[in-house]
Structure 1
Amino acid sequence: MLMTDEWMTIIEHAEELTDILLSSEVVDSYRQAHAAVYTDVELAKSIREFTVMKERYEEVQRFGRYHPDYNIVMKSIRVQKRELDLNEQVAELRIAENDVQQLFDEVGAIVARSVSESVKVPAGSAFFTSSSCDSGCGSGGSCSCSA
């Protein structure tokens, strides 16, 4: 691919947009929330333990109820998840992550629409975005939408 003035301009604008996004209040809030979670030694330890338990959970899921540790792992993963869910710092980090994702989705949609109205932009959670059909286009055409 040849580098033209037009491509250089696009790259420069993309770098400017990146700098603007990275210096935004939303991203700054995310950085603060991330630092608050991962500088807390006990909380970081809990997250690592939960990650290890998730790996055990995935192993147990392969065998289902026939795995010897099924009941222990299932109970333990729920207890650890609940503890993390109820932690105020983790909740703030999740909110900040969602805010950053929403910002990126909005910017992505604006950029896509500036290229063409027919550009499809995957954005956010499929459960919360509106579409032309209620069940989503992954329903095998049963919704009779014009996907």
Structure 2
Amino acid sequence: MIATLEIVQLLDQSEYLGKMILSSDVMDDFHKAKASLEEDEEAQRLIAAFQAMKEQYEDVQRFGRYHPDYSTIMKEIRSTKREMDMNEKVASFKIAERKLQELLDDVSELVAHSVSNNVKVPRDGAALKDGGCGCGSGSGGCGCRAS
């Protein structure tokens, strides 16, 4: 492919846009919240407990209401998730993550609509979801309806 001046300019502009996003306050807040979450022992304990409970939940989901531990596991997963979500570090991280996603969605929409208003742009990270449950567990497709 022959690089034209227009293509080179587009590449330069996209690189500049990427650098702007990486140096934004929103990205900085996200990195701080992530580091804070990773350093917090209580938050990590709650996340690990939720992950372990989610494995049991996935086993139960294969059989649905016919699984002998269905109601127990359903109650426990909700309780474990609620406890994890109520942790200050987890909540702060989720807020920062949501703000970053909004920024990326806004930028994607601006770029897409600069090409044509007919371009459909997914919002809320929909392009990255792979049939995800929307529970916020971060697993992308865990099937969890525990929220």
TM-score by length of 2: 0.77
Percent identity, please. 48
Deviations 1:50-87 (A, max 9, x none): 11211221220111222233233222211111111211
Q: Which amino acid aligns with 2:62?
A: R
Unaligned regions of 5+ residues in structure 2, if any? 127-147
Matched residues in 1 for 2:122 and 2:84: separation? 29
**Letter of the structure 1 residue corresponding to residue 19 of structure 2:** D
Which range moved further: 30-39 or 64-73?
64-73
- Cα 1:125–1:31 shift into 2, 3 Å: closer
What amino acid sits opposite 2:31 in the alignment?
Answer: R
CA distance in 1 between counterparts of 2:6 and 2:56 reads 51
Give the match for residue 105 of structure 2. Answer: 105
Cα distance in 2 for residues equivalent to 1:100 and 1:121? 16
C-alpha separation between the residues in 2 aligned to 1:4 and 1:35?
42
2:7 alignment counterpart: 7
Structure number with larger C-alpha Rg = 1
Deviation digits for residues 116-135 of structure 1 (CA, Å, limit 9, x no counterpart)? 11111111278xxxxxxxxx
Match of 2:83 in 1: 83
Report the Cα distance in structure 2 between the residues aligned to 1:87 and 1:125, rounded to whole angstroms. 24
Deviation track 1:71-113 (CA, whole Å, cap 9, x = no partner) reads 3322221111111121111111111111111111111111111
- 1:29: Cα distance to partner? 0.6
Q: What code does the residue aligned with 2:71 have?
A: N
| Equivalent in the alignment of 1:58 | 58
Match of residue 29 from structure 1: 29
Q: CA RMSD in A?
A: 1.8
Q: Distance in 2 between matches of 1:3 and 1:63?
A: 56
Does the Cα contact within 8 Å between 2:40 and 2:89 map onto a contact in 1? no
Equivalent residue of 1:124, what SS?
coil
Residues paired across the two proteins, number: 126
Higher relative contact order (CA 8 A, sep 6+): 2
Separation (CA, whole Å) in 1 of partners of 2:13 and 2:125: 28
Match of 1:123 in 2: 123
Q: Work out whether residues 50 and 77 of structure 2, in 8 Å CA contact, stay in contact via their aligned partners in 1.
A: yes
1:85 corresponds to which letter in structure 2?
Answer: D
